[in-house]
Amino acid sequence: MISFLEKSANPRQPIEIQISGSKSESNRALILDQVLGGLDIANLSDSDDTMHLVNALKQLKTKSKTIKINVGHAGTTMRFLTALCATIPQQEFVISGSERMHQRPIKPLVDALNNFGAKISYLKNEGYPPLKIKGENLTKDKISIQANISSQYISALMLIAPKLPQGLNINLKGNITSRPYLEMTKALLEQQQIKVDFNQSQIKVHSSHSNSPTSVEIESDWSSASYHYALVAFSNEGFSVNLSNFNLNSVQGDAALRDIYKKFGVKTEQVDHKTIKITKINKLYSKIKLDLIKTPDLAQTIAVTCLGLNINCELSGLHTLKIKETDRLQALKTELEKFGGRVKISDSTLQLQSVGKLEPYQVISTYNDHRMALAFAPLALKTKLSIENPEVVSKSYTNYWEDLKQYGIIAKITK
């Protein structure tokens, strides 16, 4: 457990924060390196999720009849590897994960790949990991998949497409969720001179017969930056933080932070080609209404920010939160209500009616979800609290607790 019991009065300004590379970009770049070969990747994420993928890709080189890979809690790694391993002929794989990973659906991706000619079967429950995969030479060029469940299924297919003889036409069924993540995958493919056509219902990724891989510099992680936006929102007017290796013209969808947090009195400006400065200004809204279908990973941070600033909010587009590391909608409701917030949830929405004064000293449960710990910690600037299982933040932001010290937040970790 980590407890935040006091804070120093005046941290030095501006605070300088260096967050490691985006795990979303890093994981895509690692798969592309496996598919294309020869990529020079700089500023790779140091998150647990990315390290799981690094280790898994090393295992692909082992000489074993059946290669067994455990991805832990890393959902991206599970989905990306499922597609990749299906394309490796004459090799058998067993991919498993944590108990929670075995509760997270993967059927839409498996169905799409099996209809495409892959040989993937379930070892326990239908529709869920662990999986057994017999790699094949996949030669078709058309595949269909549900687009309204997880963008990671589609990105997984996009990333293997360059190694297929004729590329891949992906037919998208239903409304697209988290489209910015598909745009990110498209941008990274195009950086490697791979042509991608993307319209509302179809993606065409061309083959890479003449491709010459180049270097890739991973931008720092905008999802992780969100917690610093919350900290600045909770600070006094004029307080500022410099975040290095960020660009306002980012391929990451969560760069939408720069516009969303204007509503919380946070201004963003590019101070040089690799640094942004975020500053608290004295402008707040009394009620926030946002559709987060493109940026669902920001939901927890935004909800906690509204709670801390006593702002009512209505958040929609959250249907994917129920199949994350935990049911994030139910987890948010439970933890926000500990501080006195009144919360209503549906399958895709969250409504928060805040109260003037936060209930003092609450213990936050994380449900083995890194974003629960990361999102609630900034409330230490508003009230005393403790967070269970603090090590869970290493899934995406290894240095988080150290970075919080720069805000004058004094924490004590106990077992």
What are the tens digits of pLDDT across the range 220-258?
Answer: 999 999 999 999 999 999 999 999 999 999 989 999 999
354 annotated to a ligand binding site: no
What are the tens digits of pLDDT across the range 10-61?
Answer: 566 789 999 999 999 999 999 999 999 888 999 999 998 899 999 999 999 8
| CA angle, residues 10, 386, 320, in degrees to nearest 5 | 105
Q: Which of 48, 297, 369, 403 is catalytic?
A: 297
Domain boundaries, the chain: 2-21+219-413, 23-217
What are the tens digits of pLDDT across the range 325-367?
Answer: 778 999 999 999 999 999 999 999 999 998 778 988 899 999 9
Predicted confidence (pLDDT) at residue 210 exceeds the cutoff of 70: no
Predicted confidence (pLDDT) at residue 8 exceeds the cutoff of 60: no
Give the pair of three-digit tokens for residue 240. 């500022």
What are the tens digits of pLDDT across the range 172-203?
Answer: 998 888 888 999 999 999 999 999 999 888 99
Could you tell me if 389 and 368 are in contact, meaning their C-beta atoms sit under 8 angstroms apart?
Answer: yes
45 annotated to a ligand binding site: no
Q: Is 297 an annotated catalytic residue?
A: yes
Give the pair of three-digit tokens for residue 195. 């042509």
262 annotated to a ligand binding site: no
State the number of CA atoms in the 13 A half-sphere of 251 facing the CB.
21
DSSP-assigned letter for residue 141:
-
Q: Do domains 2-21+219-413 and 23-217 have the same CATH topology?
A: yes
178 annotated to a ligand binding site: yes
- How many whole angstroms separate alpha carbon 223 and alpha carbon 370? 12
Burial 29-47 (b: 16+ CB within 10 A, else e): bbbbbbbbeebebebbbbb
What are the tens digits of pLDDT across the range 63-97?
Answer: 888 999 999 988 899 999 999 999 999 999 999 99
371 annotated to a ligand binding site: yes
The residue count for the chain: 415
Homologous superfamily in CATH for domain 2-21+219-413: Enolpyruvate transferase domain (3.65.10.10)
Q: Give the range with max mean pLDDT: 1-10, 369-378, 403-412.
A: 369-378
- Omega cis (within 30) before 213: no
Q: Please identify which residue in the block is written with the tokens 């989905």.
A: 79
What are the tens digits of pLDDT across the range 100-142?
Answer: 899 999 999 999 999 999 999 999 999 999 999 999 999 899 9
Predicted confidence band of residue 7 (pLDDT cuts 50, 70, 90):
low
98 annotated to a ligand binding site: no
pTM for this predicted structure: 0.87
CATH topology of domain 23-217: UDP-n-acetylglucosamine1-carboxyvinyl-transferase; Chain (3.65.10)
79 annotated to a ligand binding site: no
In 47-202, alpha helices (H): 48-59, 75-86, 107-115, 151-160, 179-191
152 annotated to a ligand binding site: yes
Strands 40-42 and 215-217: parallel
119-122 sheet: strands from edge to edge: 66-70, 92-96, 131-134, 119-122
24 annotated to a ligand binding site: yes
